[in-house]
Amino acid sequence: MQIHPTAIISKKAELADDVSVGPYSLIGDNVIIGASTKIGAHCVIEGFTSIGKSCVIFTGAVLGSCPQDLKYKGEKSFLAVGDNNIIREYCTFNPGTGSGGRTIVGNSNLFMAYSHVAHDCVVGNNCVIANNGTLAGHVTVEDNVVLGGLAAIHQFVRVGMLSIIGGCSKVTQDAPPYSTCDGHPAVVYGLNLIGLKRHNISKDSIKQLNYVFKILFNSGLTLKHALKEIEKEIKPVLEVSYLIDFVKKSQRGMAHSCRK
């Protein structure tokens, strides 16, 4: 291990042999850090926190400190961060709240400076959270999402896979998969065509998604009636089936169209 002499690391913490820790960083009793992870200067990693392999954590990040939740009374809760994540300067990740609560971050994500992941969030894989992107408690961010700088996601909101959220947006309802959303509150502008093409989604699937988006968000139908219309008219491809299932499971309601 490459441990700077000013770093303070609990003897109870579990660090892989090739972990490096920079000056003045603090690592608590119940922390587990995987192979080849690099921790910069002045970082604090505490609580029941596990960090996977080959992560890079930059100056001043605070991971695993008590959740910012008035209901939290010191119960044992957890933060689990996967492999190959880049966590830039002064990011803050909180563990779950309540006994056994968990915040889970997947693999290969980029969290730019000052990003915040609150208690009980779930972040998937290959996401980009730009500077000051903020997730409130119990937020779910699915795979391959791009969250613009200064965007804020309301508690319990879900952000669907392969969606992109514009900078400074206020997301108060679920953002559908494959969408482009922006605004105060965020509304749906259409498909994330660039993201779909970059992930090799077929032209037929994109065509069907475009048709389904028109019915869901621009037909004037309620979501309930729009879903009936879609199920009556088409035999959906995989991506459309996923979108329909996402809409049906929405608890906070879906973001509206920009045309409303």
Task: Confirm whether 119 is a catalytic residue.
Answer: yes
Cβ-contact 60, 42 below 8 angstroms: yes
Residues with Cβ < 8 Å from 258, sequence gap 6 or more?
Answer: 183, 187, 188, 189
- Residue 120: active-site member: yes
Regarding beta strands 146-147 and 164-165, do their DSSP bridges make them parallel or antiparallel, or are they unpaired? Answer: parallel
Active-site hit among 69, 120, 143, 174:
120
Catalytic: which of 42, 116, 119, 138? 119
Cis ω for the linkage preceding 185 (within 30 of 0)? yes
Given the residues 52, 106, 133, 137, select the one marked as catalytic: 137
Q: Is 18 a catalytic residue?
A: no
Exposed / middle / buried, residue 37 (Cβ in 10 Å: 0-12, 13-18, 19+): buried
β-partners of residue 9 are 27
Nearest residue to 81 via CA among 114, 24, 39? 39
By annotation, the residues acting in catalysis are 119-120, 137
